[in-house]
Structure 1
Amino acid sequence: MTITSDNVPTIPTRNATLSLAHTSALSPATRLAARALLDDVFDGLDDTDWDHALGGVHALLHDGDELIGHAAVIPRRLLHGGRALRCGYVEGVGVRADRRGQGHGATLMTALEHVVRQAYELGALSASDTATGFYAARDWHLWRGPSSALTPAGIRPTPDEDGSLYVLPVSASLDPDAPLTCDWRDGDVW
């Protein structure tokens, strides 16, 4: 690992360079590039979805000057078993279409999983149908219990998320068949 002039750690990978940086350390150009990449990956990304990926640590994968992959882990609180757990929540995982299938997604997730294991009691994410096998193969566990959100009006079930939530246990004692509640945010709560 080396440190760039911006004090961002970089890790050389096959055909790309991985860097990690907090949102506060991203230049405006890097933020714009990450947003544009995710717009392409997700066929449009609204402002609320982009906002969900800000405020934490970003994994950025570059091939030369081109951003080819992005993922972020942001701090959240999840309620489980009568406790508010410190969670590293994964957002905005995407690799440019012409660079998929080359291990870049795994490179991004390896970096974020390290952050989660060093700073949080658990990791969590909401997986698309096409990504469930990817996360399961990385030792993320499907949450089988009911999900909900702590909204301004109280705890509300989020049944549409059931079956798509995955956790990466770190130090928290978890019962994957019990209820799991996320903190409130605008847009998609999970």
Structure 2
Amino acid sequence: MTEPLRTAHTADLTPAELHEIRAFLDTAFDGDFSDDDWDHTIGGLHAFVRDEHGLAAHGSLVQRRVLHRGRSLRTGYVEGVAVRADCRRQGLGGRVMDALERAIDAAYALGALSASDEGAALYESRGWQVWPGRLAALGPDGVVPLPDEEGTTYVRPAAGRKLPEASGALHDTLYFDWRDGDVL
């Protein structure tokens, strides 16, 4: 039997559910999930699957602003995607991404995420593309280049839109809004 997928905004989750999601992500990321990472994961749409053992998969989508060629793009940024170890390779990550991508298509100009080596294949199989240009953030003291994020930051245009292609736009810089911890 296929377990149901649930979506809910952070505001609609109980404190116990939020605690469960945080503990799940701490475990899924082998203790390498900081308070800043948690802060980046909340405040938007969560998609998750539970089974008889608890959470089996989770991902969230939060709004960010990305500047590209002088335009501010409302961007759905994917965070906190994880599948419990005993449930991997069963399609749960794809189900979570289906829900998040539907939200991107309905409400955003662009989807973006930073992929781990382990997660990159999932996103590539779904049509996400590595941003080939430069990456930077608009920090408190000005522009902060993010060369370490280049090659691991993926984008996906919302349905009916295309990634910018005219006159080398794909190689222009994406400027992300600033946040504490890992900017991307």
Q: TM-score, normalized by length of structure 2?
A: 0.92
User: Deviations for 1:43-69, whole angstroms, at most 9, x for unmatched residues?
Assistant: 111111011001100001111472111
Change (3 A) 1:172 1:55: farther
Letter in 2 for 1:179: T
Dislocated runs of 4+, deviation >4 Å: none
What's the counterpart of residue 37 of structure 1?
Answer: 24
Unaligned runs of 5+ in 2: none
Aligned alpha-carbon RMSD (Å): 1.2
Task: Give 1:172 deviation, angstroms.
Answer: 6.2
- Aligned mates of 2:124, 2:163 — CA distance in 1: 19
1:157 pairs with 145, 149, 164, which one? 145
- Aligned mates of 2:17, 2:46 — CA distance in 1: 11
1:123 pairs with 108, 111, 114, which one? 111
Letter in 2 for 1:15: T
2:174 pairs with 160, 173, 180, which one? 180
User: Deviations for 1:66-99, whole angstroms, at most 9, x for unmatched residues?
Assistant: 2111100000000101111000000000011111
1:47 pairs with 27, 35, 38, which one? 35
What's the counterpart of residue 6 of structure 1?
Answer: none
User: Deviations for 1:106-138, whole angstroms, at most 9, x for unmatched residues?
Assistant: 000001000000000010000112222211110
What's the counterpart of residue 51 of structure 2?
Answer: 63
In 2, are the aligned partners of 1:146 and 1:159 still within 8 Å (CA)? Answer: yes
Letter in 2 for 1:46: S
1:146 pairs with 134, 137, 147, which one? 134
Q: Sequence identity of aligned pairs in percent? A: 49
2:125 pairs with 137, 142, 146, which one? 137
